[in-house]
Amino acid sequence: MTKSSSSSFALVLSFLLITMFSTAPTAGFPICSTIHGVQVGETCFSIIQKFAIEQPLFLRLNPNINCSGIFVGQWVCVNGR
């Protein structure tokens, strides 16, 4: 393999990687765009409804959330991809 063909291979590879990441937002790390501080009386369910976020997305954005132990002042992610 010549020097120029291996560098164009690297170019194609990086292009493929960029395309994969930009067209598959659900794969890889979730990106949080809005956070919300939990208020008195709120539950996971009321937050999901209030911010009209899909539950699977909510859970993906908050992988460590414990919905039976949610507390006032806790920061949760309510929008992102």
Ligand X SMILES: *[C@@H]1O[C@H](CO)[C@@H](O)[C@H](O)[C@H]1NC(C)=O
Q: Which residues bind ligand X (CB under 6 A)?
A: 66, 68-69
Nearer to ligand X, 19 or 66 (CB): 66
Q: Which residues pair with 34 in a beta bridge?
A: 79
**Who's near 61: CB < 8 A, 6+ residues apart?**
30, 32, 77, 78, 79, 80
As a dihedral over the C-alpha atoms of residue 62, residue 45, residue 70, residue 54, rounded to 10 degrees, the angle is 10
Residue whose CB is nearest to ligand X in the complex, by number: 69
Which letter does DSSP use for residue 69 in this model? S
Least CB distance to ligand X at residue 72 (A): 13
Nearer to ligand X, 22 or 68 (CB): 68
Nearer to ligand X, 65 or 79 (CB): 65
Least CB distance to ligand X at residue 49 (A): 21
